[in-house]
Amino acid sequence: MTTPAGLIVVSYGGGTNSCAMLVGLHERGERPDHILFADTGGEKPHTYDHLLTMQDWCASVGFPPIVTVKGTNPSDHGTLEAFCWAHDSIPSIAFGFKSCSQRTKGGPLDKYTKAIGGEFTKLIGIDADESHRQRDFPNTRYPLIEWNWGRDECVAAIARAGIQQPGKSACFFCPSSSRRQIFELRDKYPDLLQRALAMEANFLEKKPGAVKGLGRRFAWRDLLAFDAAQINLLPDSPIEIACDCYDGDEP
């Protein structure tokens, strides 16, 4: 595909797709002019850690540094988490809207690109497995779809470049979290889970009935309480028994 004239601006989300997109651009000899990371203030620690890894990788291949952009409207209260607390709410996607994403990601990205001035093409990392999410916006490319890269190809590209896999990029209180991701939050980042549960409890106290909680049709606190209750029903094993499963250490 012929790249339109003007600057190339990469929207870097911090997850697998956007990381693979940068690798693919490097492999094809395409150098972006700007790489922008819109920070909601609520990403999980592994995303912020991987951002530093990608800064080093960009420098090593001659790419520009990743620039972090944030919302500056005083009514946004600095971060999405602060905004939700200020309005006794939870992210708008729980109600079927996407203003939380537009406020903390789309808006700051658009503001930065307008400040750049001139012609530009925005690159977005939607992969070929989710091509239905592609929208025909002007001056926008979806390189992963162009290359027919699905999730497997993205993971392979990151490995090929010798980069650690970034993991899922999302706010720790995102209503789109799967049940598995909620349990992972509990196990890996219990302090962040408590902040999410506090936000949910405040919302349910101040605005009961809007939705059932951060899970939209259920409250995270109820899911976690049910899971704990189920675990408590299982008796503790009196002795440790080796499973003898092959773990890769034997020839």
Beta carbons of 86 and 124 less than 8 angstroms apart: no
The CATH number that applies at residue 63 is 3.40.50.620
Question: Do 140 and 197 lie in a common domain?
Answer: no
Tokens linked to 22: 């940068």
Look up the domain containing 57 and give its range. 7-160
Above 70 in pLDDT, residue 246? no
Is 27 inside a domain boundary? yes
Query: Are 124 and 202 within one domain?
Result: no
The region of weakest confidence among 34-48, 50-64, 223-237 is 223-237
Residues 204 and 103 in one domain: no
In a domain, 31, yes or no: yes
User: What is the mean predicted confidence (pLDDT) over 10-36?
Assistant: 97
* 8 Å CB contact between 44 and 192: yes
Q: Indicate whether 146 and 186 sit together in one domain.
A: no
CB 133 within 8 A of CB 144: no
Does 29 score more than 70 pLDDT?
yes
pLDDT tens-place string over residues 63-103: 999 999 987 665 666 799 999 999 999 999 999 888 888 88
Model pLDDT for residues 120-174, shown as the tens digit of each residue: 999 999 999 998 888 888 889 999 999 999 999 999 999 999 999 999 999 999 9
Report residue 3 as tokens.
Answer: 């790249």
Domain annotation covers residue 2: no
Same-domain status, 218 and 105: no
Asked if residue 143 belongs to a domain, the reply is yes
Model pTM score: 0.85
Please write the tens of the pLDDT for every residue from 214-243: 999 999 999 999 988 875 544 443 433 333
